[in-house]
């Protein structure tokens, strides 16, 4: 729960330059923590996400009998093997959709009843997408009206399923794969559009055998996982704010020292390069299947473009900031096939449209996206984060090129994925 709604004032900047070292990727941190918890042995995770969401995952794991310690960004997890301890309290997932959905997959395979809740935003988010396949596997899940949290999961022995997902969601795919570890037989998941494959790579890193072909993934039940030592790559979705800030200034020069560049996420780099940001990758390595590199970005032109299927799924968390800089592009940005944005931490289509209009922009809001003309001048305004971390950070970037200061109410929502965001932004902006 975000308790205080702090307002932050962002003044216009004249340039962006310097070096950013990113906190660990949120998606990968959740997965490493959950898999470390059901592995045998002790996992050591360096550069673990500093975001409150991954803190929610760690706290839920503690309530399930998993011992872990944290010192700065190093998290050491003592795996329990495949069995958790029955919780004596309700599991609070806070603001985190990843926690509630992916942990549900593991809890479906545990022989006890557990209850998962979250904050006001999480309580509005759709869970039927995980309830349905996990019930097909044999779990019993009660939810609030319309399939919303809280979830009461009665887990047990599961059976493998062959499931074609109606919604492209990496969280749902992961929940099914994690449940598949506890099922008799081989579970097969097919997704309509390829989503991030961090779970597949993490499962392999922890020693599981996974079969992957095109849009389908298979996992056999009963596999034992083994602890890992890993360094979490820097969060590309966090880097997106700085790359977009650099794109706003023709003289910008930015180095990102540890960027996670998993190909199912890194389309952002191609898109920004196509829009005119000069990007070069100066080093690249693979850690547990994940690509990590050093990236340099220099501002130039800022052209617009269209984002639509299948790119929408690969850019889903970056669309708010891409939309938030769209008025400054020369020819505008159109976003299509992005209906999922309406059921994220906030209705991100409505939030972007409301804030851009408050700053004087012309925007067309559509059911599944936005059409934002380019060549616009924006002014500072009082805007809102809608208690959504990505909206808070996206508009801190928009504010850098506006005339006059912008006040962002509820800007502290950034702690959900990137507590250091505003300090890092200050360190790379010239005013
Ligand atoms: C995530 C998947 C995406 C993304 C979210 C993190 C993940 O959600 O928006 O921030 O870690 O798997 P969906 O799976 O709902 O698309």
pLDDT of residue 219: 98
* Ligand 1 pocket test, candidate residues 24, 26, 27, 217, most atoms within 8 A of CB: 27
Ligand 1 pocket, 196 CB below 6 A?
yes
Ligand 1 pocket, 317 CB below 6 A?
yes
**Please, which residues have CB within 8 angstroms of residue 382's CB and are 6 or more apart in sequence?**
358, 406, 407, 409
For residue 15, is the peptide bond before it cis, meaning its omega torsion is within 30 degrees of 0? no
What distance in angstroms lies between residue 124's CA and the mean position of ligand 1's atoms? 16
**pLDDT digit string (tens) for 131-153?**
999 999 999 999 998 899 999 99
Burial class (CB in 10 A: 0-12, 13-18, 19+), 214: exposed
What distance in angstroms lies between residue 217's CA and the mean position of ligand 1's atoms? 17
Ligand 1 pocket, 266 CB below 6 A?
no
> Measured between alpha carbons, how far apart are the two ends of the chain, in Å?
33
Ligand 1 pocket, 252 CB below 6 A?
no
**pLDDT digit string (tens) for 80-119?**
999 999 999 999 999 999 999 999 999 999 999 999 999 9
Nearest atom in ligand 1 to 317's CA: 9
What distance in angstroms lies between residue 98's CA and the mean position of ligand 1's atoms? 7
Ligand 1 pocket, 169 CB below 6 A?
yes
Nearest CA to ligand 1 atom 11: 27
Kindly provide the b/e burial profile for residues 309-328, where b requires at least 16 CB atoms within 10 angstroms of the residue's own CB. Answer: eebbbbbbbbbbbbbbbbbb
Mean pLDDT over all residues of the chain? 97
What distance in angstroms lies between residue 133's CA and the mean position of ligand 1's atoms? 17
Ligand 1 pocket, 170 CB below 6 A?
yes
Ligand 1 pocket, 27 CB below 6 A?
yes
What distance in angstroms lies between residue 376's CA and the mean position of ligand 1's atoms? 31
pLDDT of residue 2: 44
* Ligand 1 pocket test, candidate residues 49, 171, 197, most atoms within 8 A of CB: 171
Ligand 1 pocket, 102 CB below 6 A?
no
**pLDDT digit string (tens) for 268-312?**
999 999 999 999 999 999 999 999 999 999 999 999 999 999 999
Q: Beta partners for 283?
A: 294
Report d(CA 86, CA 275) in Å as an integer: 51
What distance in angstroms lies between residue 96's CA and the mean position of ligand 1's atoms? 10
Ligand 1 pocket, 262 CB below 6 A?
no
pLDDT at 185 over 50: yes
Kindly provide the b/e burial profile for residues 278-289, where b requires at least 16 CB atoms within 10 angstroms of the residue's own CB. Answer: bbeeeeeeeebe
Nearest CA to ligand 1 atom 16: 169
pLDDT bin (cut points 50, 70, 90) of residue 5 is confident
The answer to whether residues 247 and 272 touch, using CB atoms and an 8 Å cutoff, is: yes
Ligand 1 pocket, 230 CB below 6 A?
no
pLDDT of residue 4: 62
The answer to whether residues 392 and 385 touch, using CB atoms and an 8 Å cutoff, is: yes
Q: Which of 166, 210, 156, 158 is nearest to 188 (CA)?
A: 210
pLDDT at 356 over 90: yes
Question: Would you state the structure tokens that stand for residue 423, as one six-digit string?
Answer: 């300090």
pLDDT bin (cut points 50, 70, 90) of residue 347 is very high
Q: Which of 376, 360, 387, 349 is nearest to 120 (CA)?
A: 387
Percent of the chain topping pLDDT 90: 98
Q: What angle do CA 397, 400, 405 make, to 5 degrees?
A: 115
What distance in angstroms lies between residue 130's CA and the mean position of ligand 1's atoms? 13
Report d(CA 28, CA 54) in Å as an integer: 10
**Which H or E run contains 376?**
none
pLDDT bin (cut points 50, 70, 90) of residue 1 is very low
pLDDT bin (cut points 50, 70, 90) of residue 328 is very high
Place of tokens 């934002």: 372
Nearest atom in ligand 1 to 171's CA: 14
Nearest atom in ligand 1 to 316's CA: 9
Active site residues: 317
pLDDT of residue 282: 94
pTM of this structure: 0.98
């Amino acid at each position: 729960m975000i308790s205080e709604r702090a307002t932050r004032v962002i003044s216009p900047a004249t340039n962006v330059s310097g070096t950013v070292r990113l906190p660990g990727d949120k998606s990968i941190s959740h997965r490493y923590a959950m898999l470390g918890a059901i592995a045998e042995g002790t996992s050591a995770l360096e550069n673990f996400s500093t975001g409150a969401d991954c803190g929610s995952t760690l706290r839920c794991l503690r309530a399930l009998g998993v011992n872990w310690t944290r010192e700065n960004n190093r998290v050491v997890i003592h795996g329990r093997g495949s069995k958790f301890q029955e919780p004596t309290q309700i599991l609070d997932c806070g603001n985190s959709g990843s926690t509630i959905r992916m942990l549900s997959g593991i809890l479906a395979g545990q022989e006890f009843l557990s209850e998962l809740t979250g904050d006001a935003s999480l309580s509005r988010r759709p869970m039927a997408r995980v309830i349905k396949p996990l019930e097909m596997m044999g779990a019993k899940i009660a939810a609030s009206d319309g399939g919303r949290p809280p979830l009461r999961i009665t887990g047990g022995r599961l059976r493998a399923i062959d499931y074609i997902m109606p919604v492209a969601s990496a969280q749902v795919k992961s929940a099914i794969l994690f449940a598949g570890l506890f099922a008799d037989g081989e579970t097969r998941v097919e997704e309509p559009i390829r989503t991030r494959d961090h779970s597949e790579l993490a499962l392999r890193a922890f020693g599981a055998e996974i079969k992957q072909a095109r849009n389908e993934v298979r996992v056999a039940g009963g596999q034992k996982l083994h602890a890992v030592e890993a360094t979490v790559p820097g969060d590309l979705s966090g880097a997106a704010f700085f790359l977009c800030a650099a794109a706003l200034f023709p003289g910008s020069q930015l180095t990102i020292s540890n960027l996670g560049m998993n190909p199912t996420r890194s389309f952002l780099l191609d898109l920004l390069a196509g829009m005119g940001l000069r990007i070069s990758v100066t080093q690249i390595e693979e850690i547990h299947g994940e690509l990590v590199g050093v990236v340099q970005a220099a501002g130039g032109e800022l052209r617009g473009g269209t984002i639509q299927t299948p790119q929408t799924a690969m850019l889903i968390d970056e669309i708010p900031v891409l939309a938030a800089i769209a008025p400054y592009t020369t020819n505008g940005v159109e976003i299509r096939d992005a209906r999922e944005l309406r059921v994220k931490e906030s209705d991100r289509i409505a939030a972007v449209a409301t804030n851009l209009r408050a700053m004087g922009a012309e925007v067309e809001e559509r059911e599944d996206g936005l059409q934002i003309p380019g060549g616009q001048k924006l002014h500072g305004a009082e805007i809102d984060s809608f208690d959504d971390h990505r909206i808070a950070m996206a508009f801190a970037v928009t504010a850098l090129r506006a005339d006059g200061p912008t006040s962002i109410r509820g800007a502290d929502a950034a702690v959900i994925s990137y507590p250091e965001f505003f300090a890092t932004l200050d360190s790379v902006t010239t005013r």
